[in-house]
């Protein structure tokens, strides 16, 4: 068995991306289209999503769009019916939609708590459950966008981070459950990617992007996530399942170590 550039191609594949109107989802969707995939994109932001769909079509790819709140299970089911009607299958699901607000745990009321659970966990379950029967006999790939916050403490984001950790656990368990169907399940733990969502969060905690150091010495951009998304979507990652790729300029490895300004590092 050899590896060729064709293994990186997504020609003939159908990729579902959630939260695709901006940021990481948009970058991932456009990259998948550039690598040859047809797309199903959804988001609650209609105008921006239409712009993404137009770019996909301009690349010569087919696209199905869905404007809805991913926390609505009926809307998810209806979107996946549209996907089935148009394409008859799904080869790759990128569970990207998600988000949070900054609040001490004890200040989040039960309504906010449920919203965060639905936003970052329940809808992921619904997309996986809905896509599963659409994966062909030859299998497919599920890519769950998680966060470095699934791997460390996250004061002010406790519910968000614990839901991202739940998705990490789900990724490992479903990798085993779905292995016989040839469906690989992996996660990408993002950190320090400059998106509108990240800027909004940063403004709530006093400017994340301004003072946050990564070992690689710069803040990330959405396209830094696009390559790993395409990699996990494609046959280049055919022997990977149940694992996590960290995309954050090395912050996961650093685990609190910072540059000391004199060419070395300090904890």
The nearest distance, CB 98 to ligand NAD, in angstroms, is: 3
Site for ligand NAD in 52-91 (CB under 6 A): 69-71
Using alpha carbons, list the distances in angstroms from residue 195 to 23, 156, 225, 231.
5, 19, 11, 21
Binding of ligand NAD by 232 (CB under 6 A)? no
Residue 186 lies near ligand NAD (rule: CB under 6 A): no
Is residue 121 part of the annotated active site? The answer reads no
Distance CA 126, CA 87 (A): 19
d(CA 120, CA 187): 14
Residue 81 CB contacts under 8 Å (≥ 6 apart), including other chains:
none
Query: Site mask, ligand NAD, residues 142-181, x = CB under 6 A?
Result: ---x-x----------------------------------
Neighbours of 207 (CB within 10 A): 11
Task: Render the burial of 238-266: b for 16+ CB within 10 Å, e for the rest.
Answer: eeebbebbbbbbbbbebeeeeeeeeeeee
Angle between helices 23-34 and 196-205 (to 10 degrees): 160
Nearer to ligand NAD, 143 or 190 (CB): 190
* Least spacing, CB of residue 241 vs ligand NAD, in Å: 20
**Smallest separation (angstroms) from ligand NAD to the CB of 164:** 7
- At 220 the three-state DSSP class reads strand
Q: Quick one: 37 or 70, whose CB is closer to ligand NAD?
A: 70
b vs e for 48-79, b when ≥16 Cβ sit within 10 Å of the residue's Cβ?
A: bbeebbebbeeeebebbbbbeebbebebbeeb
Closest separation in Å from C-beta 251 to ligand NAD: 10
Residue among 196 and 260 whose Cβ is closer to ligand NAD? 196
CB of 6 to ligand NAD, least distance (A): 29
If the CB atoms of residues 101 and 179 are measured against ligand NAD, the closer one turns out to be 101
Q: Quick check: 21 binds ligand NAD (CB under 6 A)?
A: yes
Site for ligand NAD in 239-258 (CB under 6 A): none
* Binding positions for ligand NAD, rule: CB under 6 A: 19, 21-25, 43-45, 69-71, 96-99, 119, 145, 147, 190-193, 195-198
């Amino acid at each position: 068995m050899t590896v060729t550039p064709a293994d990186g191609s997504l020609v003939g594949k159908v990729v579902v991306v959630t939260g695709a109107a901006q940021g990481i989802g948009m970058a991932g969707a456009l990259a998948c289209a550039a690598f040859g995939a047809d797309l199903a994109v959804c988001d609650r932001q209609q105008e921006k999503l239409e712009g993404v769909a137009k770019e996909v079509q301009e690349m010569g790819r087919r696209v199905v769009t869905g404007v809805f709140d991913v926390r609505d299970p009926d809307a998810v089911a209806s979107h996946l019916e549209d996907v089935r009607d148009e394409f008859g299958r799904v080869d790759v699901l990128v569970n990207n939609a998600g988000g949070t607000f900054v609040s001490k745990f004890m200040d989040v009321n039960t309504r906010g708590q449920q919203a965060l659970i639905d936003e970052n966990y329940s809808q992921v379950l619904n997309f996986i459950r809905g896509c599963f029967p659409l994966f062909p006999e030859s299998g497919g790939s599920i890519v769950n966008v998680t966060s470095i916050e699934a791997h460390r403490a996250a004061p002010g984001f406790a519910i968000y981070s614990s839901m991202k950790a739940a998705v990490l656990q789900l990724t490992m368990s479903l990798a085993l459950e779905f292995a016989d169907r040839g469906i690989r399940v992996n996660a990408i733990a993002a950190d320090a990617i400059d998106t509108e969502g990240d800027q909004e969060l940063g403004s709530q905690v006093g400017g994340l992007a301004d003072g946050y150091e990564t070992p690689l010495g710069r803040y990330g951009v959405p396209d830094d996530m696009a390559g790993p998304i395409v990699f996990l979507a494609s046959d280049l990652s055919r022997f990977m399942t149940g694992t996590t790729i960290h995309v954050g300029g090395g912050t996961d490895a650093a685990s609190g170590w910072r540059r000391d300004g004199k060419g070395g590092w300090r904890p």
